[in-house]
Amino acid sequence: MSAKQLGQASLATKTAFLFPGQGSQKAGMLAELAEQFSGVQATFAEASEAVGFDLWHIAQSGEGLDQTEFTQPVLLTASIALWRVWLELGGVVPKCMAGHSLGEYSALVAAGAMSLGDAVKLVHLRGKLMQSAVPQGQGAMAAILGLDDAKVLELCEQANMQGRGSVEAANYNANGQVVIAGDKTLVEAVMASAKENGGKAIALPVSVPSHCSLMKPAAEQFAQALEQTAIELPRIPVIQNVNAEAAADVAQLRQALTAQLYQSVQWTKTMQLIQDQGIQYVAECGPGNVLANLAKRLPNIEKAFPLDTKSRLEDALNAILVAEGKIA
C-alpha cells in the first residue's frame, strides 16, 4: 500500500478495521469483486509473483486452499485486495487495526509496516514451518463454548496432568468462547470434560494446532526469517495478538510476531481496547464475517460490517462515511 494513498485518505475517529485469520477462506472468494475492480486480480498477481505460484487459482479452485502453507498467503492477499478497493472507493483510514492470528500480518501490510511481497513470502514460510512442527494427525484444535475462561484453563490443567503432551488455550475469542490447541488425545479429553461441565465443544477442521507450545520449534526458525524481512512501525496503530497492545518499536513488533506462533491470541482484550478507544464501527477486511459477528455482540460497537461482496462493501462505505461526518 503506497504511503501516498494512505496519506490522501481521510482519517476516521470511530472506525477500526479487523483482518480475519485461517478458517475464513472459501473457494471462489472475491470472484464477484474481481469482475468489478481490476485491482483485485492485480493484487493477486503481485503476490503470486513474490511466492512463485498462482494464488488466484488456489483461491478460486480451492485446490490446496486448506493446506496452511497456501491458506495463509491466499487469505493475506485477499485482505489486501479488499483494503485497496476500500481506499480506491474513497474509504476512510481507520483509527486502528487488528488482525486475528494470520490476520495480524494483513493488518501490518495495510498499515504500511511491510510490503505485500515480503509478507506473502513470510506467511507461506510460516505455514510450512507450522505444518512440519507437528506430524499430520497428532495435533488438534477445538472451540469450547459456554464456559468461562478460568474453567477452560482448569480443564486444560487437569488434562495436562493426566496425559502425555499438552493442551492449552489458543484463542480467547469472546466471553464464553475459547479455542484450545495441543495434542489430539488431550484436546479430545478437554472436549469431553467441557461437555460434562455444561459447555459445548466443536472440533475445528485445521491441519495444525496453532498458538500453543507445540509451535515453539517453528517459532525459533521463523524468528530468523523475520529478522531478514524489512519491517517498519505501522502508520496506523495495529493492536497485537499476544499482548493486546500496539508495538512501541520494530524490535517489539518482531518479537510479538514470533511469540504469536506459540502464545494465545488475546482477541477478547483486543476488542475491549478497541472499544476503549471510542470505536463504534468495525469493518472486517477479508473473506467472510466471523470477526464482524463477534464484534456485533459487544456493547459499544454500533455496527460491524463485512466487506467481501460489492453490496456489503457499498453498505459499509456509506454507513461509515456518514458516521465519520465525511458525507451527509
Q: For residue 102, what is its C-alpha cell?
A: 494470520
CATH number for region 139-206: 3.30.70.250
Q: What confidence score (pLDDT) does residue 163 get?
A: 75
Q: Do domains 3-133+214-323 and 139-206 have the same CATH topology?
A: no
Q: For residue 243, what is its C-alpha cell?
A: 499482548
From 48, 106, 211, 264, the catalytic residue: 211
Q: What letter would DSSP give residue 203?
A: E
Is position 211 annotated as part of the catalytic site?
yes
**What pTM value is reported for the model?**
0.96
The strand pair at 281-284 and 200-203 is best described as unpaired
Residue 79 has φ and ψ, to the nearest 5°, of -65, -40
Write down the domain spans for the chain: 3-133+214-323, 139-206
Triad 82, 210, 136: Cα angle to 5°: 110
From 101, 106, 207, 264, the catalytic residue: 101
Q: What letter would DSSP give residue 66?
A: T
| Closest listed residue to residue 47, CA positions, set 106, 7, 107, 87 | 106
> pLDDT tens track of the chain, all 328 residues?
455 566 667 899 999 999 999 989 999 999 999 999 999 999 999 999 999 999 999 999 999 998 999 999 999 999 999 999 999 999 999 999 999 999 999 999 999 999 999 999 999 999 999 999 998 889 999 999 999 999 999 999 999 998 789 999 999 999 999 999 999 999 999 999 999 999 999 999 888 999 999 999 999 999 999 999 999 999 999 999 999 999 999 999 999 999 999 999 999 999 999 999 999 999 999 999 999 999 999 999 999 999 999 999 999 999 999 999 998 6
| Closest listed residue to residue 230, CA positions, set 305, 119, 103, 80 | 119
| Closest listed residue to residue 87, CA positions, set 288, 277, 287, 320 | 320
Q: What confidence score (pLDDT) does residue 27 get?
A: 97
Q: Give the list of residues 6+ apart from residue 53 with CB closer than 8 angstroms, or none.
A: none
CB 211 within 8 A of CB 264: yes
Which CATH number does the domain 3-133+214-323 belong to among 3.40.366.10, 2.40.110.10, 3.30.450.90, 3.75.10.10?
3.40.366.10
Q: For residue 77, what is its C-alpha cell?
A: 492477499
Burial 247-284 (b: 16+ CB within 10 A, else e): beeeeebbbbbbbbbbbbbbbbebbebbbeeebbbbbb
Q: Which helix (H) or strand (E) holds 172?
A: strand 167-174
Residue type, 300: N
Burial 134-171 (b: 16+ CB within 10 A, else e): beeeebbbbbbbebeeebbeebbeebbeeeebbbbbbb
Determine how many CB atoms are found less than 10 A away from the CB of residue 175: 11
Distance CA 100, CA 90 (A): 25
Residue 115 has φ and ψ, to the nearest 5°, of -80, 155
Q: What confidence score (pLDDT) does residue 279 get?
A: 98
Distance CA 181, CA 89 (A): 40
